[in-house]
Amino acid sequence: MKLPVMKSNEFDAGLFQKRIRKVQKKLKKGEILILFAATHKIRNRDVEYKFRQNSDFYYLTGIREEDSIIVLTSDAVGMFCLPKDKEKEIWTGIRLGKDKIKSMLDLDFTYDLNDWDKQKSAILIGNHTLYYFFGENPDRDRELLQECKNLSERAREGKFGPHRIEHPYFLHEERLIKSKEEIQILKNAAEITKFGHMRIMRESKPGLYEYELEALLEQEYLKYGSIGGGYGHIVASGKNACILHYVNNDDRLLDGDLVLVDSGAEWNYYTADVTRVFPVGKKFSDAQKTIYEVVLYAQKNAIRQSVTGIPFNEVHEKTVRFLADCLREMGFLKGNLDEILEKETYKKFYMHRTGHYLGMDVHDVGRYFIDGKSRPLKDGQVVTVEPGLYFDPNDDSIPKEFRGIGIRIEDDILINGKEPINLTESIPKEVSEIEALKS
């Protein structure tokens, strides 16, 4: 399947207008929401990192330009954006400008960005509550806190500004449940991810370096219009797989070792998140296959349990119980199962959660607990399911043939009543499928 390349000028005005007005309706009189776009980050000296828009800002506006600001109240919605500047546009590309953005998003007002300093006081006046993602940008935090303080000192004029700052949780609630359009984008990201994972399964061999597999992943992702990985690629061969967030990717692949690859393509601002494990050579060893099959069974079982209404944390707890019992039966853990769970001795081998929310961010937004209770899964959520087992390469208490084995198997699951949909199911994970690709 050859996917269409996503063109940078594609823009669904109706979609973003609808999102803006839906969020606006959640604001009461005297409440104001301010969102800042991302800014370019310096990599070194005059070199910038590749720009990627802030997810919340993009979700609401679809605008990919840096440093913009959107302001919502119950009465009006407006934006501050980069001014048209012919000289700068020669160097960095054409800017939309305030007039075009106002038309595109059907806004009530727009200003050039350099008007923000003189307008922000008037925008904040008369609002008692500021909804803002405090803590993401210290400079913006200080700026808004100072402006709120300045306004509080004008009480004798009969004027006031926000005296309360709250997290815009309602925006993240909107992002938590995916629309049909978002699910299709995630399916495209999953399909591109499949091409990358299957290629490196086929082409890995002793003597290559981890970064060569990483390069193949990027090549496949970029070929289909992805910006690349939605997060840093983990290509961990041998004992490196026991480092959960290994990103050096500079070791040589050795015959007899496994490769753990945790990587997902980002397509049109939504990312897949997939982990697969395969042998460098042709076959799994007996010890590798034993652990792999345990993790695979746990993963399939956790996917089946990911149904509407089940508390999200319950999937993790059941997975922990199963893996701990397997470790006990194989002799890796001592004592009865309840003692193992109470003392958490299983964390020697399984130290992370079984899944997380997925969407525009690899660890996507949304609350996991409400009033201290694990949140039940709902239709339209997308979550990962990713159990694993890791055997410390330097632990002499572990039989030699198991030391340095790290297995994690991860898929992206759409919650769909009692029938969860595995968006990444077509990426091989059965031992027989993987070994067939390697033959």
Catalytic residues: 46, 245, 262, 273, 352, 356, 363, 386, 390, 408, 410
CA distance 33 to 171: 10
Task: Give the Å distances, CA to CA, from 225 to 23, 151, 350, 359.
Answer: 30, 47, 36, 18
Amino acid occupying residue 390? Y
Q: What residue has token string 């201290």?
A: 372
CA distance 261 to 385: 15
Q: List the one residue out of 55, 56, 53, 52 whose CA is nearest residue 23.
A: 56
CA distance 374 to 395: 35
Amino acid occupying residue 241? A
Task: Give the Å distances, CA to CA, from 318 to 290, 355, 410.
Answer: 20, 12, 17
Question: Which pair of tokens denotes residue 3?
Answer: 């996917």
Sign of CA dihedral 160, 164, 170, 172: positive
DSSP 35: E
Maximum separation of any 2 CA atoms in the chain, in Å: 81
Say if CB 142 and CB 109 are below 8 A apart.
no
Question: Which pair of tokens denotes residue 65?
Answer: 């330009």
Is 292 buried (19+), middle (13-18) or exposed (0-12) by CB count in 10 A?
buried
Q: Which ranges of 41-157 would DSSP assign to H, the alpha helix?
A: 55-61, 86-92, 97-105, 116-124, 138-152
Task: Give the Å distances, CA to CA, from 175 to 49, 139, 396.
Answer: 26, 26, 47
Question: What phi and psi values does residue 363 have, to the nearest 5 degrees?
Answer: -105, 90
Within 13 A of 239's CA, how many CA atoms are on the CB side? 9
Q: List the one residue out of 407, 412, 408, 340 whose CA is nearest residue 381.
A: 412
